[in-house]
């Protein structure tokens, strides 16, 4: 790039800034206040970055890359869910379904989630901050309702869903969003006493204990683990006393260990994870893990080709939900799995970046919420991938934004949409407007 081009662009940039300053000054003067006081939002024309010569080069209203990654994961999820389920009607259990049944429903879930996201992104973050306690209470009530006989739907011995006709709603998914909001709001309210364990940490511990009892009654230990990690992560990022935080983590880990040791079937699952190829477990608790490893091994570097998985042909249970990554590994190989891992790493990092940006702008609730969603998406993806790769014990956790499931997809997308709203308000503040 020549020196003359650089000088021209710098001059255009300075002129653009001067024009914005003059417009903001006029807006403030018209309201009888300081420059910028009359602006409650940034006009669409100010969201456009105009390059040298008048070309529109960049749209500044929101993070386009974040949106593209989310839509890319949703689209890839639709493709892989179809690939993983196209042969299911061959089984007597799914004989009444057409080959496109799960794909069609996944597309419906994605459409519903995107429509809900369009609504959520219009709502100011101040509303979510005020409503966070009520969202948390609503999630607790739904966790109680799902346990009521005749209301909650049981699948494989677990009562985690409330039938709503088109889809089965899973209250634990709402609870993940609710705990991120509530913990962020809680830290803002307790900011002055966050170094006092009894007054700052103990109430959140009680709230987690209530959620834990309700989720373990379903049972859904995996969801409880994710919710606990979200809450403890926000407390840590919110600045609670370090020793108190690690003491709380130790107590929480001890509780999980006690739950595992007191439950024979959970303990057997841990043993199966440690020795999946042992004849004692290979056809029992270790069956899913062994076939997941076989699928990943068959994929090698570039995979067997899209649609060419063998393990999805009634060998690998729950291939379209908990073990979707194994199908990706078999069909798209190491390259496909590495791409998915990088996408989730980038997404989590970006959510954290938006959160740090909000905190730097003195928007603590917005920042902690965004980072809480980053913990949720990144943490749950890490657990699901670890299970598929044999690094972690088998848990009933799906791959966010990709695995089959209505309530999970909808709540994932709504949670990210609210973070996009955080980013929009961050940009408005940095350009002289008001959130």
Is the CA virtual torsion 229, 175, 271, 378 positive or negative? negative
pLDDT number for residue 278: 80
DSSP 321-352: TTTHHHHHHHHHHHHHHHHHHHHHHHHHHHHH
Cβ(329)–Cβ(336) under 8 Å?
Answer: yes
345 vs 418: CA distance, rounded Å: 19
What is the Cα–Cα distance from 328 to 201, expressed in whole angstroms? 41
Please give the Cα distance from 16 to 268 (Å, whole number). Answer: 66
Positive/negative CA dihedral, 19, 24, 30, 32: negative
pLDDT tens for residues 129-166? 999 999 999 999 999 999 888 887 877 667 788 888 77
Looking at residue 194, its pLDDT comes to 63
- pLDDT confidence of residue 195: 64
Residue closest to 232 by CA, chosen among 195, 197, 201, 194: 201
Q: Is the pLDDT of residue 259 over 50?
A: yes
Residue 154 makes CB contacts below 8 A (sequence gap 6+) with none
Whether cis (ω within 30° of 0) applies to the bond prior to 123 is no
Q: Report the pLDDT averaged over residues 169-190.
A: 92
For residue 125, what are the CA distances in angstroms to 42, 129, 247, 425? 16, 6, 32, 8
Q: Is the pLDDT of residue 49 over 50?
A: no
Q: What does the pLDDT look like over 364-405, one tens digit per residue?
A: 999 999 999 999 999 999 999 999 998 888 877 899 999 998
What distance in Å separates the CA atoms of residue 106 and residue 401, rounded to the nearest whole number? 11
Cβ atoms of 312 and 87 closer than 8 Å: yes
Percent of the chain having pLDDT more than 90? 51
Predicted local confidence at residue 108, as pLDDT: 95
CA–CA separation, 154 and 391 (whole Å): 29
* Distance from C-alpha of 183 to C-alpha of 365, rounded to nearest angstrom: 9
Per residue in 317-343, pLDDT (tens digit) is 889 999 999 999 999 999 999 999 999
pLDDT for the residue numbered 284:
79
pLDDT tier for residue 286 given thresholds of 50, 70 and 90: confident
* Torsion over CA: 190, 195, 200, 201 (sign): positive
pLDDT of residue 104: 95
Residue 60 scores a pLDDT above 70: no
Smallest Cα–Cα separation from 161: which of 176, 174, 180? Answer: 174
């Amino acid at each position: 790039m020549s020196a003359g081009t650089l000088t021209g662009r710098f001059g255009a940039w300075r002129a653009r800034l001067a024009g914005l300053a003059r417009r903001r000054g006029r807006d403030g003067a018209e309201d009888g206040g300081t420059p910028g006081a009359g602006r409650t939002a940034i006009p669409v024309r100010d969201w456009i970055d105009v390059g040298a010569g008048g070309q529109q080069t960049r749209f500044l209203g929101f993070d386009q890359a974040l949106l593209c990654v989310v839509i890319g994961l949703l689209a890839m999820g639709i493709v892989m869910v179809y690939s993983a389920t196209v042969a299911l009607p061959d089984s007597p259990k799914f004989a009444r379904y057409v080959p496109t049944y799960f794909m069609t429903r996944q597309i419906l879930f994605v459409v519903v989630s995107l429509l809900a996201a369009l609504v959520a992104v219009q709502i100011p973050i101040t509303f979510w901050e005020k409503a966070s306690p009520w969202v948390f209470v609503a999630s607790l009530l739904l966790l109680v309702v799902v346990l009521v006989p005749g209301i909650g739907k049981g699948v494989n011995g677990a009562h985690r869903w409330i039938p709503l006709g088109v889809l089965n709603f899973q209250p634990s998914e709402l609870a993940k969003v609710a705990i991120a909001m509530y913990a962020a709001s809680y830290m803002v309210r307790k900011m002055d006493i966050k170094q006092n364990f009894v007054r700052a940490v103990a109430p959140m511990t009680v709230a987690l204990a209530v959620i834990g009892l309700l989720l373990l009654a379903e049972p859904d230990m995996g969801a409880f683990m994710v919710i606990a990690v979200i809450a403890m992560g926000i407390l840590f990022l919110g600045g609670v006393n370090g020793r108190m935080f690690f003491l709380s983590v130790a107590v929480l880990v001890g509780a999980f260990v006690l739950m595992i040791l007191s439950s024979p079937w959970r303990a057997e699952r841990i043993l199966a994870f440690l020795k999946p190829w042992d004849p004692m477990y290979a056809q029992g608790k270790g069956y899913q893990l062994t076939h997941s490893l076989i699928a990943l091994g068959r994929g090698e570097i570039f995979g067997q080709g899209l649609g060419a998985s063998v393990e999805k042909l009634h060998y690998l249970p729950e291939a379209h939900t908990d073990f979707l990554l194994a199908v990706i590994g078999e069909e798209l190989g190491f390259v496909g799995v590495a791409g998915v891992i990088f996408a989730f790493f980038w997404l989590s990092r970006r959510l954290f970046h938006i959160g740090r940006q909000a905190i730097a702008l003195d928007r603590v609730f917005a920042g902690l919420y965004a980072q809480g969603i980053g913990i949720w998406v990144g943490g749950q993806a890490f657990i699901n991938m670890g299970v598929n790769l044999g690094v972690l014990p088998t848990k009933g956790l799906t791959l966010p934004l990709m695995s089959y499931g209505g309530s999970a997809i909808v709540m994932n997308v709504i949670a990210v949409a609210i973070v996009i709203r955080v980013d929009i308000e961050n940009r408005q503040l940095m350009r002289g407007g008001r959130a």
